[in-house]
Structure 1
């Protein structure tokens, strides 16, 4: 009965940035995947494909505003929606060309 007052401490999560802009990802071969980004963080993004979404476990690349590229893996799809987990290991970013 004393547990009714217990409230678990929330695990802080990085604030996501809501996006409403056209954003082009590419597949591993460089073919564009046209999407609208729903939200994005340093760990990944959620997007709506303007055509068919990439298949789960597909490798994709995202070009950042500063010209860097980051690789990611499609983790889930639902209709035309999908989520990408970025490769955040040290050295995973490709320097701008």
Structure 2
């Protein structure tokens, strides 16, 4: 007996990243999520605390300050996957994040001496008492 297989749609290319976002559902107030990978049509995330429920409607604030609506498609402990209601332009998001990173690097001032005092003073061993 020949078994027919369902046609498989190719998966969207995913960007493997660790990005911070925020998510809220009707049941849960806004909470922080870590985006593990993202595509034009959805993302895989993880959270601390109560996870969303499969089938639940969610609003997600992406790292580029864009809000998208989505439906939770699967949950495994604190890891979950959502499908966006509308596709996003992933290239625009990655360009925005790169510009923000570049701006932060230009404005960073890594002067360790001005932030921390280095002391090479050694304790007087004769003054220490033995217990």
* Structure 1 unaligned blocks of 5 or more: 1-10, 90-97
Q: After the TM superposition, list the runs of 4 or more consecutive aligned residues in structure 1 that deviate by more than 4 angstroms.
A: none
What residue is the counterpart of 2:14 in the other structure? 16
Return the TM-score normalized by structure 2: 0.52
Deviation at 1:31, TM superposition (A): 2.0
Contact 2:45 2:80 in 1 (8 A): yes
Deviation at 1:69, TM superposition (A): 2.1
Contact 2:22 2:62 in 1 (8 A): no
Structure showing greater Rg: 2
- Greater strand percent: which structure? 1
- Greater helix percent: which structure? 2
Deviation at 1:63, TM superposition (A): 2.4
* Structure 2 unaligned blocks of 5 or more: 1-8, 88-131
What residue is the counterpart of 1:70 in the other structure? 68
What residue is the counterpart of 2:6 in the other structure? none
Deviation at 1:46, TM superposition (A): 0.4
* SS at structure 2 position matched to 1:83: strand
Contact 1:36 1:50 in 2 (8 A): no
Return the TM-score normalized by structure 1: 0.67
